[in-house]
């Protein structure tokens, strides 16, 4: 399901206006509209991103880069999208403490993901220094 950019612009604006109208009546419902619209727009983006990531995978195979490092890169991208989504929603709900802790969790997760390639790199450097 692939829409063009105008669909998502209209989606975002309609969602924003509905949330604004509903905020005076019931703020929790306006937050729900925000969550729903954010989910929808990210879902629409994902069809493009999956094509892009397939293309990048093919490129990395053709360039002979080892697959593990590239997978870590894509996973870090996914973790980044997820944590930004969650922290923005928390900020919308007025919980900036939750938002910053979610961001911290995302950073730590990305560092943990990157630990394996980093240790491989350090081992390689150590072997080069020895030999």
Whichever of 57 and 103 has its CB closer to another protein, that residue is 57
Whichever of 1 and 97 has its CB closer to another protein, that residue is 1
Write down the residue that tokens 């954010």 correspond to: 38
- How many secondary structure helices (H) and strands (E) does the chain include? 4, 0
**CA-based max dimension of the chain:** 72
CB of 126 to another protein, least distance (A): 30
Instruction: Give first-to-last CA distance, the chain, whole Å.
Output: 54
In residues, how long is the chain? 131
Whichever of 103 and 109 has its CB closer to another protein, that residue is 109
Whichever of 2 and 128 has its CB closer to another protein, that residue is 2
CB of 123 to another protein, least distance (A): 25
Reading the block at residue 61, the tokens are: 């195979």
Q: What is the C-alpha to C-alpha distance for residues 84 and 113, in angstroms, rounded to an integer?
A: 17
Which residue ranges make up the site for another protein (CB under 8 A)?
A: 1, 10-11, 14-15, 18, 21-22, 25-26, 28-30, 32-33, 35-37, 39-40, 42-44, 46, 49-50, 53, 71, 74-75, 77-79, 81-82
């Amino acid at each position: 399901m692939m829409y063009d950019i105008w669909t998502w612009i209209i989606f975002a604006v309609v969602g924003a206006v509905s949330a604004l109208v509903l905020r005076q009546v019931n703020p929790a419902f306006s937050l729900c509209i925000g969550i729903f619209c954010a989910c929808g727009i990210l879902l629409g983006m994902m069809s493009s991103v999956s094509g892009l990531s397939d293309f990048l995978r093919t490129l990395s195979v053709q360039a002979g880069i080892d697959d593990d490092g590239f997978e870590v890169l894509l996973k870090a991208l996914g973790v980044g999208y997820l944590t930004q989504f969650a922290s923005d929603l928390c900020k919308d709900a007025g919980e900036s403490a939750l938002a910053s802790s979610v961001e911290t969790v995302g950073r730590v997760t990305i560092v943990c993901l990157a630990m394996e390639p980093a240790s491989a790199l350090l081992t390689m450097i150590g072997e080069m220094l020895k030999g």
